[in-house]
Homo-oligomer: A and B are copies of this chain.
Amino acid sequence: MGMVGGGQDAFIGAVHRMAAGLDGSMQMVAGALSSTPEKAIASGKALGLPEARCYGTWMEMLEGENARPEDERIEAVVIVTPNHVHFPVAKAALEAGFHVVCDKPMTCTNEEAAELVDLQQSTGRVFAVTYNYTGYPLVRQAREMVRSGAIGPVRKVMVEYLQGWLATPLEQSGQKQADWRTDPARAGAGGAMGDIGSHAENLASFITGLQVAAFAGESVTHVSGRALDDDTSVLLRFDGGATGVLTASQICPGSRNGLRIRVWGETGGIDWQQESPNQLLHTSLDGPDQIHRTADADLAVAAAEATRLPGGHPEAFIEAFANIYRGAAAAMHAGRDDGETFGYPDVQDGARGVRFINAVVQSSGQGWTELSQ
């Protein structure tokens, strides 16, 4: 794989490399690791890339790799840049015949998202969007349980993603992660909603299979001087009548990475929290609560296949992320873009996420809005 973005100082680039490497799913052999050509090349060298494949720009990388013999060029382009760069790179990569692994949110605008959907279909390349939380074994267990009726028809969904790292105007200190995430030109229209609300939406969709039919939300900026929302809450109506609440906030001091989803159906409920990812609470109308744990013998196949260790040996963020890579790599080897079968979020998931972010932010404070899927 060739990586775009993710050089020194970047957080998520290293995660992608560890996740790709954990199972040997993919290996980074080329890169344009920064938007500054000198940094891009220096980062590549520092990470041990062959000098010839340390590119100054992603355009050079696509060109350079395509100039190599077919069996010596990269198979996939991994995009871990700020959001506004996702689209041009993904578009060019698809057009150049590469598979794509793209961070979320997939694009800044609905139009860009739609264009990538079309392009993926016309090229047939694999397109994975790293909604990494769907890689956790017990998230997959939750999905299997909800979809197979273990809690009955779904009535209510509560999903929250709470962080505290933007409770202060951190972007004013020059901190790199805060800087671009609070800049509409690079992050897109959503702040907290785009950065983490998108994960919340995806997780709810992944587990329940339900579509949001309408919503009423409010995106607020609590930290003065900030250009994007840092706190968004949304009431949801799903197709079929289920109701929901989604909250994404980055101004909650003490919340580190508090993603939690609860789903209740007519006969039971499930509760999963990302910071304690190896347990899944299953409740019922009567009787004791049940705690499923990663690697338990009675879990669904999809959960078991996402598990590497025996019970009580906790698996966590990197392993979950690696499951997305494993799925995407399997699809690439099979030459077939099929996230459902291989286990990764696809371009449709990415596009739906972009539409949701933009709809919520644009309709903030306006009451109920219908959402066409």
Please give the residue numbers on chain A whose beta carbons come within 8 Å of chain B beta carbons, in ascending order: 11, 14-15, 18, 21-24, 48, 151, 155-156, 158, 160, 163-165, 167-168, 216-218, 220, 222, 231, 233, 235, 237, 241, 243, 245, 247, 249, 251-258, 262, 264-269, 274-278, 281-293, 295-298, 308-319, 365-368
Contacts and interface: CB of A to CB of B under 8 A. Distances in A.
Contact of A316 (B247, B266, B316): B316
B21 A256 contact: no
Contact of A311 (B256, B266, B281): B256
B268 A253 contact: yes
Contacts of A243: 218, 220, 222, 231, 233
Given A243-B231, A310-B11, A317 B315 contact: yes
Nearest to A15: B309
Given A155-B222, A231-B243, A314 B317 contact: yes
A269 B258 CA distance: 14
Contacts of A310: 11, 165, 256-257
Nearest to A222: B155
Contact of A318 (B269, B295, B319): B319
A359 to B, nearest CB: 15
21 contacts: A18-B22, A22-B22, A156-B222, A158-B160, A165-B310, A167-B285, A218-B243, A233-B245, A251-B264, A253-B269, A254-B284, A255-B283, A256-B310, A256-B311, A286-B296, A288-B291, A289-B291, A314-B316, A316-B319, A318-B318, A367-B368
Secondary structure call for the A interface: loop
A90 to B, nearest CB: 25
A249 B218 contact: no
Contacts of A366: 367
A262 to B, nearest CB: 8
Contact of A313 (B168, B237, B290, B317): B317
B298 A286 contact: yes
Contact of A163 (B151, B241, B256, B312): B312
Contacts of A318: 22, 308-309, 315, 318-319
Given A288-B293, A293-B289, A368-B367, A283 B253 contact: yes
A291 B291 CA distance: 8
Given A218-B216, A264-B253, A164 B313 contact: no
A293 B264 CA distance: 19
A255 B155 contact: no
Contacts of A297: 286-287
B216 A367 contact: yes
Nearest to A252: B264
B18 A308 contact: yes
Contact of A168 (B269, B283, B285): B285
Contacts of A254: 264, 268-269, 281-285, 289
A336 B341 CA distance: 49
Contact of A292 (B268, B283, B288, B291): B288
A282 to B, nearest CB: 7
A113 B319 CA distance: 35
